[in-house]
Amino acid sequence: MKGSMFAALVMLLAVMFASGCATGLKNAHINSTGGLRDESMTVLSRPLEYGLETLGDASGEAYTKQFLWFVLDGDKVSVDVLLPGILVSDPLERIACYRAAKSLNGDGFYKVTSEWDRISVLGCLYREKRVRVTGKALKIKDLGLMDAKRADEIRKYQGDKQLLIQ
């Protein structure tokens, strides 16, 4: 047992020292074939622009009826794990928000207000939950390629993070 662990350790160390990395090399030289000494090439392209269009007020609804932990009717929701310090909405509320956004053919939903109706019999023996949400539906608009002059100005503004165009 001790010998096989020693052999595995020696093999691991041999593999670690035999494999190399090109990032430690100081000079990259041009050659006719690819190799570890080649430099990566930076390609600058004009970014795409997107905008948001407010489609208007929308509303959505979701409900579930449960006996013990079995869903009898309505929307089946998965169990969420609540983590301290993280804002977590109810999965039933997220379903209602999705339906509200899609009612106006939207991609997003914000300024959400919720109204809940809850019925519970003997704790978790029988439960009914219904949520109605209202808010604003959003649509993401593709505005196309950014103007070249504006893209260059943004690159210059970002400083050392990207290649500067002069």
The DSSP output letter for 21 is -
For residue 80, is it within any domain?
yes
In a domain, 38, yes or no: no
Residue 20 counted as domain residue: no
Secondary structure element (H or E) that encloses residue 139, with its range = strand 126-145
Structure token digits, residue 12? 């691991």
In a domain, 148, yes or no: no
104-160 pLDDT, tens digit per residue, is 999 888 888 889 988 888 877 888 889 999 999 999 988 888 888 877 777 776 654
Count of structural domains, the chain: 1
Cα separation of 111 and 136, whole Å?
6
What is the average pLDDT score of the chain? Answer: 76
Residue 16 counted as domain residue: no
Residue 35 in any domain: the answer is no
**Residue 32: inside a domain:** no
Query: Predicted confidence band at 85 (pLDDT cuts at 50, 70, 90)?
Result: low
- Please answer whether residues 134 and 125 qualify as being in contact, where contact means their C-beta atoms are separated by less than 8 angstroms: no
Pair type for strands 108-121 and 126-145:
antiparallel
Domain of residue 80, CATH code: 3.30.110
Whether pLDDT at 27 is above 90: no
Q: What residues does 127 pair with on adjacent strands?
A: 66, 120
Q: Report CA 156 to chain centroid distance, whole Å.
A: 28
* Tokens of residue 51, six digits: 């905008």
Highest mean pLDDT among 33-37, 66-70, 116-120, 150-154: 116-120
Is 10 among the domain residues?
no
Structural domain range at position 93: 50-143
Q: Give the angle 102-111-106 at the CA atoms, nearest 5°.
A: 20
